[in-house]
Structure 1
Amino acid sequence: MNFAIYYPWLKALHVASALIFVGGVVSVGLFLHMVKTESPDIRALAGDIRRWDHVITTPAMLIVWALGFGIGGAGHWFSEPWLSVKLVLVAVLSAVHGLQSGRLRRICQGASIRPLHASLPTAVVCTVIIAILAVAKPF
């Protein structure tokens, strides 16, 4: 298989999936940052957001990882320092998603609402640095 022929399409799918993944993480981060009170409406909204997360955000994250590893392996970039840093940041972003998913699950189960303030700024900072590394490949 000629990797060069498929590279632009794989990269486009990787970026599109990353946008969907990050959009989901930022959206959940906003919700978890803003929610302060407990009510049946908040729990219902949390349930809707949780379903969206399971159906859209989580598969997008898995596609990002799969395509990222495939593109990185085919391009022989795993020895590049910028990619190592990027992978660590994507792992942090994935961990933030996991924390958010757990918090949504607990809200839906009736646990008291505790804000997850750090998830939103962490997601934004990681995303900006990931984009810079992917485009500029500075080292």
Structure 2
Amino acid sequence: MIFPSLGYILDLTYLWIKAGHIIFVIFWVAGLLLLPRYYVYHQESTPGSQEERRWIDREAKLRNTIITPAMILVWILGITLATVGHYWTSGWLMAKLLIVVALSGYHGFMVGYGKKLARGERPVSGRALRIMNEVPAIAAIVIVILVVLKPF
């Protein structure tokens, strides 16, 4: 056969979309694990210092060049996978989506918190930030279990 079948092309495309989805999930979650740690170090720096300005710059770069674009691609590729794979009626996908929506909200909270820090506000303690740092890890664990085991 000279030309591959349409089914083969669709299967191959699905696998590339899936690979991209997994790659950007890794980028997103890694960034979300790193960002609260940056905030802890930022809060421990002297207000108005050169060190604080460097933390503000690092945080903005992490949010704007890695975390937010990765989250957008995770959503686009994930919706594509769910549509192509006909998973919209699957219980495990609905549970996963609920966690991804919550993780997206956490992402938004962290972005907003970074902007508050840049303005000199420090409304959350370093201890609270360290605890919040665990949210993406817990979400990732539950999501992987749902996707791999498909318990319902």
Report what 2:3 is aligned to.
Answer: none
2:4 is the counterpart of 1:4: no
TM-score of the two chains, using structure 1 as the length reference: 0.90
For residues 59-96 of structure 1, the C-alpha deviation after alignment (integer angstroms, 9 at most, x for no partner) is 00000000000010111101000000000101111111
**Structure number with larger C-alpha Rg:** 2
Candidates 128, 131, 139, aligned match of 2:144: 131
Mean Cα deviation higher: 34-43 or 18-27 = 34-43
Structure 2 distance, partners of 1:52, 1:88, is 25
Counting aligned pairs with the same residue, the percent is 27
Tell me how far 1:120 sits from its aligned partner: 1.5
C-alpha contact (below 8 Å) 2:32/2:67 kept by paired residues: yes
Contact 1:72 1:78 in 2 (8 A): yes
Partner in structure 2 of residue 119 of structure 1: 132
Q: Is 1:26 the counterpart of 2:33 in the alignment?
A: yes
Q: Is the 8 A contact 2:28 2:71 kept in 1?
A: yes
Cα separation, partners in 2 of 1:33 and 1:137, compared to 1, 3 Å: farther
Q: CA RMSD in A?
A: 1.8
Name 1:93's counterpart in structure 2. Answer: 103
| Structure 1 counterpart of 2:44, from 2, 22, 37 | 37
Q: TM-score, normalised by structure 2?
A: 0.83
Taking a change above 3 Å as real, the CA distance of residues 24 and 56 of structure 1, as seen in their structure-2 partners, is: same
Task: Give deviations 1:94-131, integer Å, cap 9, x for gaps.
Answer: 11111111111111122235235343222111110011
How many equivalent pairs are there?
Answer: 139
2:86 aligned partner: 76
Structure 1: gaps spanning 5 or more residues: none
